[in-house]
Structure formats: structure tokens, C-alpha cells
Amino acid sequence: MPRRVCFVHYHEIGLKGKNRSTFENQLVRNLRRALRDWPVGSVRRISGHILVSLEGRDADEEVARAVSRVPGVARVSLAYVCALDSDEFSAAAVRALHEAGDFQSFKVHARRSLTTYELHTLELNRLVGSVLCGEFPDKRVDVHHPDVTVYVYVVQGCVYVYAASMPGVGGLPVGTAGKVVTLLSSGFDSPVATWMVGRRGAVCVPVHFSGRPMTADTSEWLCQDIVQALEPSGMVGRMYVVPFGERQREISLAVPQGLRIITYRRVMFAVSERIARLEGAKALVTGESLGQVASQTLDNIAAVNEMVGLPVLRPLIGSDKQEIMRRAEEIGTYDISSQSADDCCTLFMPRRPETHARMDEVHAAWDSFDHDAMIDELVEEAEYVDFDQCPSYRPPRGLRARHSSLAPIEPDRNA
């Protein structure tokens, strides 16, 4: 029986012109990392696709599922690898069609990148089609709208045959779009926002502000669980945790109640930008969605945004909560975000937050405490935890190693 490999399809990479090989090579590296728990034999580019083969065994659904979660992958098929032998690849086509589930109609779609092969695509279609018609006498051939298409792809001395594909997450390989710092809470929105920019090729460095020491560290562990849930996509290299509780208390004593949240958020943005500059990240990312809560009105977004010079990306700005929650389910962060944990957002909350802050009042509040010293101290006190899921993550040079109270948990893959 012919071997089975993962035949990986990508879309957008194909549009990248001269950069195409950079994108393809990055996808190859990311696939290797994502599959490090499997006995991967080779991951290589062939003629507009990537082939993943395992050592000593066939690729199966589980491997295909892991491949499908890697950004840049549009679809993945489990393909039979046959010799240039019409009996062998026709038999593989019969198998592939048997495995295709319920169907009434089918067609064969042959392609050749090996133009020296004696059979042309029309001949291949006819030859394999007639074998399939013999094996499946009660099914119809429909060349326009078939329920199943059997692909027969002649490339580099082999014939790859498959009939089914699993959709991939799409997007671009992580590592092709630079680095971003994402402001991560354990809520529903920011994990989804992180995943969205990661899917577009960015290496993500989450920064989480916890309420420690005024709250427990539960939110920090939930954020760590979120990063682990994102692991199959390979987008996070390091997460920073900034214990913010003590400084929030100082702010809550210094500024008018209604401006507390805006002031906390100005500090959070300033600290995140400082970390971004240390990391060489080129943008900040938040999970804000217009009008969702008091801090997400246009006035308040402006009052916080003026703190930073880097672009702030808000991939969810036009999304409804329902859409965000659906996406959270798809990417595996929903259950984690459903657990409530006090973080800095629940600490020292005013009864009536300002929804349309006036800039002069925001500035007066800002000047009522030593914000520069606070920002310096918070950057200095930031802790971090590294994850080895992202092959493109490079830690900043010169950032002295600091003991972190967090340690990565070894994910239990068999759970």
C-alpha cells in the first residue's frame, strides 16, 4: 500500500512574488516546530505545496489537524504517494474515494508539474476516471459540481492522490510580519486579538497586568493557560507579567474616581510600549471593541492612545461579542476565559467610570502623581516566562535575566 503524507496547500504565500521562498521557508520551519512531538521525517517544498512525511509510519488525521492549525496553511490533505505507475495510482484513487464519506457524484482532477511524464492530464483523468467508474458503478461523474474531487498530482517523479482536505487556519506564517506586544487579559477578547495578529504572521509577546499583590495570581495562570492553548499556532515566544495592584492603589488615591480606569490604562499602555521597544516590537495590540465597555468609547480610546508613539492595532474594533466568543471557542481559549479571576481590571474600580473623558481633566489627573517614576518601576518589576513554541521569537539583547515567579507548565499532550 502506498505511503501517506500531509500535502499542505497555501494561498496567500503564492502572492508574495520574490519573497515567496522566504514565506515558504518560514512555513516549513513553523511546521517542523508544530510537529515536534511526531517522528517527522521530512518537511519540504514541492511545486507550490509543502509535503510532511513521518518516519516509519503514515501521516494520519491527528497530524493533519496539527498542521491545519499552523498559520499560513489554507488546507491539508492526506495524500497517497505513488510511483509513476498507473495501476498503483489508480488503486490509490479507489481507496481515496472509498474514504471520502457519503457522495453521489465525483470527478478526477489531474495535474502535472512533471511535463516529461508520458500521460497528459486529459489522459490521466480518463484513465483514473474509468477505473473509478468500474469500482463505483452507482455513482455519477459530474465535472461541474461534483460532491468529491479526486486529485491526481504528478510531481517530481511521484504521483500524489487524495480526495479530501481539512481546512487550515489560513493567514501567513508566524515570523513573516515582525513582532508585536499584545495586551493580554484572561477575558475573551484579547486572546482572540492576539491570535488574529499572530495568524497574520506576527510574533506575539503578550503583556499581562495582574492585580498582585492586592489580588491572587489566578489571572496570571489563566493567561499562561491561554498562551498554551495558542501553542499549536506557534505565535508566542514570551509573556510578561506586570504586578500592578500596588500602583493601582496609589492611582486610586490620587485621581478622581471617574478617571481611574483611563489613568490605569494610560500607565498600562506606557509600560507596554516600553516593553515593546525593549523587545523590538513594532506595534501594540489590544482586544478593544468599539463601545463594548466604558473605556472603549472613542473619547476614552483617544485619551489612552495619546500615551504611545507605536501604532496600536485593534483587530476586534468592529466585532460583536458573540463573534468574538465564537472565535474563542474555535481557538480553544473560551473555557479558560470563562473562568473568572480578579486582575487589575477588577481592582479599585470606580462606581461610575467616565465614558467621555475631557482631555484637560485627564491631563490634570495624570499630573497629580509621579507617573514617570511609576512607569520606570513597573518596567523594572516586569517578570516574564518563556515558551518554546515560536521558532521566530528572539529575546531582546541586554535585558537582564530576571527571576520569574512563573514557570512554564509542561503541556500534557496526552490529556
Window 311-350: contact mask with ligand ATP (x via CB under 6 A): --------------------------------xxx-----
Residues 195-254 that bind ligand ATP (CB under 6 A): 207-209
User: Which amino acid belongs to residue 129?
Assistant: G
- How far CA 374 is from CA of 94, 252, 367, 378, 400, in Å, comes to 69, 14, 12, 6, 20
Q: Is 247 exposed, middle or buried (0-12, 13-18, 19+ CB in 10 A)?
A: buried
Residue 265 C-beta: closest distance to ligand ATP, Å? 7
How many Cβ atoms sit within 10 Å of the Cβ of residue 346?
12
CA distance 197 to 161: 34
228 binds, among ligand ATP, Mg ion, none (CB under 5 to 8 A by kind): none
Q: Is 410 exposed, middle or buried (0-12, 13-18, 19+ CB in 10 A)?
A: exposed
Per the DSSP assignment, residues forming a β-bridge with 44 are: 51
**Looking at beta carbons only, is 106 or 209 nearer to ligand ATP?**
209
Residue 276 C-beta: closest distance to Mg ion, Å? 20
- Residue 392 is a binding residue for ligand ATP (CB under 6 A): no
Within 267-326, strands assigned E span 284-285, 312-313
- How far CA 370 is from CA of 214, 247, 283, 374, in Å, comes to 21, 11, 26, 6
Window 166-185: contact mask with Mg ion (x via CB under 5 A): -------------------x
- Residue 187 is a binding residue for Mg ion (CB under 5 A): yes
Window 165-204: contact mask with ligand ATP (x via CB under 6 A): ------------------xxx-xxxx--------------
**Looking at beta carbons only, is 84 or 349 nearer to ligand ATP?**
349
Determine the residue with CB nearest ligand ATP.
187
Residue 314 C-beta: closest distance to ligand ATP, Å? 8
**Looking at beta carbons only, is 90 or 210 nearer to ligand ATP?**
210
292 binds, among ligand ATP, Mg ion, none (CB under 5 to 8 A by kind): ligand ATP
CA distance 276 to 272: 6
Residue 351 C-beta: closest distance to ligand ATP, Å? 17
CA distance 57 to 39: 8
- Region label for 53, one of left (φ > 0), alpha (ψ between -120 and 50) or beta (otherwise): beta
Q: Which of 198, 287, 332, 391 binds ligand ATP (CB under 6 A)?
A: 287
- How far CA 233 is from CA of 72, 173, 250, 347, in Å, comes to 10, 9, 39, 32
Residues 314-333 that bind Mg ion (CB under 5 A): none
DSSP 8-state secondary structure symbol assigned to residue 151: E
**Looking at beta carbons only, is 59 or 192 nearer to ligand ATP?**
192
**Looking at beta carbons only, is 4 or 247 nearer to ligand ATP?**
247
What nine digits make up the cell of 197? 495578529
- Residue 24 is a binding residue for ligand ATP (CB under 6 A): no
**Looking at beta carbons only, is 110 or 347 nearer to ligand ATP?**
347
Binding site for Mg ion (CB under 5 A): 185, 187, 345
